[in-house]
Structure 1
Amino acid sequence: MLEWIVANSWAFWLSIFLILAVIEVMSLDLYFIMLATGALGAVFVDLAGGPFWLQTLVFCVLSAVTILFIRPIAMRHLRRSPADQLTNVDRLIGQDALVLEPTSRLSGRAKIGGETWTARVEGDSTLEPGAYGRVIRIDGATAYIVERRA
């Protein structure tokens, strides 16, 4: 088996690259794509005629360099987003919520951004249907609202 891998190392490294790329698509951690970059570097070393030990060295070094230097930069760019480009539930914080049924700290429903949400009032008050509240946080599928001050 080892002899086949050494003789067909381009196929071995390409397979490793594809497997790591698929794992990265599922995890989205940016670790596996960095390892996949190392495997792709090893493919190029093999195609250039380099020995297997050099391919392995290039895989290790390139993977380590991309994880240590490229990944932190990429993660900073992924985490940084302007306030006007909030996504998912983050964009609902601060929006008005139309109360659809009596809403207390234990139960209730409200319409937020065109969708009906399970809602809870932050505090001991109760909001009646037709009243408006303001979303202060989202926990799972529950929106926590406070009475909107005029």
Structure 2
Amino acid sequence: MLPDLTQYLWIVWLVLAGVFIIIELLTLEFTFLMIGAGSLIGGLGVNLLGGPWWLQIAAAAAISALLLFTIRPLLLKLLHRGEPARTNVDALYGMGGRVVAAFVDGEGGSVRLDNGETWTARLAAGAVNAGVGVRVTVDRVLGATVEVSPAAPATPASTEGSTP
């Protein structure tokens, strides 16, 4: 006499949900997370309420589809909002720094950027020669050299019209 295997379906639903969540951790697209939640809520939920196996599968599929088409787009929108962070060389454009080695005829200087890196630098065309300690801004990256121009001096806030 064989045991009724449908009494162990709750274990199958837990294993399926675990597998889907592990796959989600590898893909990070919220698809398998929704399927795993559907398995837990629909499949395991109906199982614990004593529903037949076919109703468990139908409930898991329906809830997974509902989550995929309603919650997943909202989560993806939240995840991808905002401007992507600039990295590597792209992050250098517009970055400030200070001259640490003087420029000779606009070539061969050295700057320490605000991120702590020291780069070989040259002055941009038409830029005034910058001495040691002068603030500069990165205009271009040319291989292992940055092209810089002196940063605009900070203007003090106007106090005209303000009351003491």
Q: Give identity over the alignment, percent.
A: 25
Q: Which structure: greater helix fraction? A: 1
SS state at 2:51 partner: coil
SS state at 2:117 partner: strand
Largest Rg, 1 or 2: 2
Q: Distance in 2 between matches of 1:136 and 1:55?
A: 61
Q: Distance in 2 between matches of 1:69 and 1:110?
A: 49
User: What is the aligned partner in structure 1 of residue 159 from structure 2?
Assistant: none
Q: Does 1:80 align with 2:84?
A: no
SS state at 2:138 partner: strand
After TM superposition, list the pairs within 5 Å mapping 1:1-150 onto structure 2. 4=5, 6-41=6-41, 42-81=43-82, 89=87, 94-97=94-97, 111-113=113-115, 115-116=116-117, 132-134=136-138, 147=149, 149-150=151-152
Q: CA RMSD in A?
A: 4.2
Query: For each residue in 1:46-80, what CA deviation from the matched residue of structure 2 results, as whole angstroms up to 9, or x when unmatched?
Result: 01101111111111111111111111111112222
User: What is the aligned partner in structure 1 of residue 160 from structure 2?
Assistant: none
In structure 1, the gaps of 5 or more residues are 102-107
Q: Distance in 1 between matches of 2:21 and 2:40?
A: 11
Matched residue type, 1:13: W
If the length of structure 1 is used for normalisation, what is the TM-score? 0.62
Say whether the 8 Å CA contact 1:20–1:36 is kept in structure 2: yes
Q: 1:96 to 1:58 in 2, by over 3 A?
A: same
Q: Following TM superposition, where does structure 1 have runs of at least 4 consecutive aligned residues deviating by more than 2 angstroms?
A: 86-95, 97-101, 108-113, 115-121, 128-137, 144-150
Q: 1:79 to 1:49 in 2, by over 3 A?
A: same
In structure 2, the gaps of 5 or more residues are 102-109, 153-164
Say whether the 8 Å CA contact 1:100–1:110 is kept in structure 2: yes
Say whether the 8 Å CA contact 2:95–2:113 is kept in structure 1: no
Please report how far the alpha carbon of residue 97 of structure 1 lies from its aligned counterpart in structure 2 after TM superposition.
4.5
The alignment of Structure 1 onto Structure 2 pairs a total of residues equal to 131
